[in-house]
Amino acid sequence: MAAAGRVAASRWIGRGPECAAFEKEFGTHLGADHVLLTNNCTSAIYLALRVAGIGPGDEVIVSTINFVACASAVVELGATPVFADVDPHTLNILPDAVARLRNPRTRAVIVLHYGGHPCDMNEIRSAAGDGVFILEDSANAIASDYHGQRCGTLGDAGVFSFDAMKILVMGDGGALVLTSPELVERAEALRYLGLAPSQTSGLEAMQQSMTRWWDYDVVAPSGRFISNDMAAAMGRVQLRRLETFLARRRVVWDVYQARLADVAGIVPPPEPAEGCTTSYYLYWIQCDRRDDLAAFLKDRGVYTTFRYYPLHQVPYYKTTMSLHNADRASETTLNLPLHQNLSDDDVHRVCDLVTEHAANRA
């Protein structure tokens, strides 16, 4: 509230110094040189694929367990999404599946670090081969490390979400991280209507003593994907509190792991792979009577869900494929509540209910 008040008092709530400061500070958090703040992560996904030059005739391999925006952006650009199967327990894309699906039309691979657990990026890079653009959907992985490097900085592009459901929230917001400096200028233009970055404000043009400061050109037609200082100011406060959020989420994760390890019929999630850390974004169990358990919890006031409904099962994409691991995961996986505002009592209550459900049905 204090940060929002500070922005309001400045009499400028559009894109300005708070956005620039957030980009710098988030870049420091990631160890990344080029961070572009956007109005949401969906825009960042679209921008990443657009600067990668994805278009008609191209194929993009997409982890089938992923957010719908990843497939939609591919289709919007006229390319074809090709859905890849996942590991049955981590729900991360299988490098073998990438290797199998790759062909001369493959231009990009989109991976999701499911729940915050890093994908095996070295294996994915070698499965994708040279010249294939790798986009890391890091919406779940704001502070996850893969062998000492932050998720979102390992591929050619990384995207983050700061919407109201994420760990670091600013109402709505997203970020695009690019590793190639050549792509950054184009991404900056496409983020703001396709105007050249030097031409973004009539006021600035006037201050630079241009005579007709209202003239402009576009480098390419595009949408408007910028953020604003109100959102960025909130994000900066959240960024300073990120460690505390993660510490609390870890406690919740550890309680679930300890209490559910031996419950009959429940398969808890694996810990992150050797050399990796997680952001504890999701907690997921797998069990045969998943729908029954979800209803049992719902009737007792506990919201659960399944993220992410496999894209190859979405009717719009008209695939008839079966992806064995993802198909099975979508019948058995349930996300239990995991967020930094859960009390110890809340977490133990969920564990009690899961245990009771398992005992009733044994």
Ligand X SMILES: Cc1ncc(COP(=O)(O)O)c(C=O)c1O
Strands (DSSP E) found in 6-120: 35-38, 59-63, 80-84, 106-112
Asked whether 333 and 284 are in contact (CB, 8 A), the reply is yes
Asked if 279 interacts with ligand X (CB under 6 A), we say: no
- Stretch near ligand X under the rule CB under 6 A, chosen from 81-89, 157-165, 320-328, 344-352: 157-165
Considering only the stretches 34-42, 57-65, 81-89, 265-273, report the one whose residues sit in contact with ligand X under the rule CB under 6 A. 34-42
Q: Tell which positions 312-341 bind ligand X, by CB under 6 A.
A: none
Which CB, 139 or 347, lies closer to ligand X? 139
If the CB atoms of residues 42 and 106 are measured against ligand X, the closer one turns out to be: 42
DSSP per residue over 186-237, as a string?
Answer: HHHHHHBTTB-GGGS-HHHHHHTT-SSTT---BSS---B----HHHHHHHHH
**What span, in angstroms and rounded, lies between the C-alpha atoms of 290 and 331?**
7
Q: Which is nearer to ligand X, 119 or 266 (CB)?
A: 119
What secondary structure does DSSP assign to 247-313, as a single string? HHHHHHHHHHHHHHTTSTT-BPPPPPPTTB------EEEE-TTHHHHHHHHHHTT---B-S---GGG
Residue from the set 64, 161, 238, 278 that interacts with ligand X by CB under 6 A: 161
Rounded to an integer, what distance in angstroms lies between the CA atom of residue 267 and that of residue 350? 16
* CA atoms of 267 and 182, how far apart (whole Å): 45
> Binding to ligand X by residue 171, rule CB under 6 A?
no
Interaction between residue 115 and ligand X (CB under 6 A): no
Q: Which two tokens mark 60? A: 């993009």
Question: C-beta of 355: minimal distance to ligand X in Å?
Answer: 29
Q: Is 169 in the site for ligand X (CB under 6 A)?
A: no
Sketch the per residue contact string, 59 through 78, with ligand X: x for CB under 6 A, - otherwise: --------x-x---------
Query: Which of 15, 32, 36, 42 is the binder for ligand X (CB under 6 A)?
Result: 42
| 111 is a contact residue toward ligand X (CB under 6 A) | no
Give residues in contact with ligand X (CB under 6 A).
40-42, 67, 69, 112, 137, 139-140, 161, 163, 165, 174
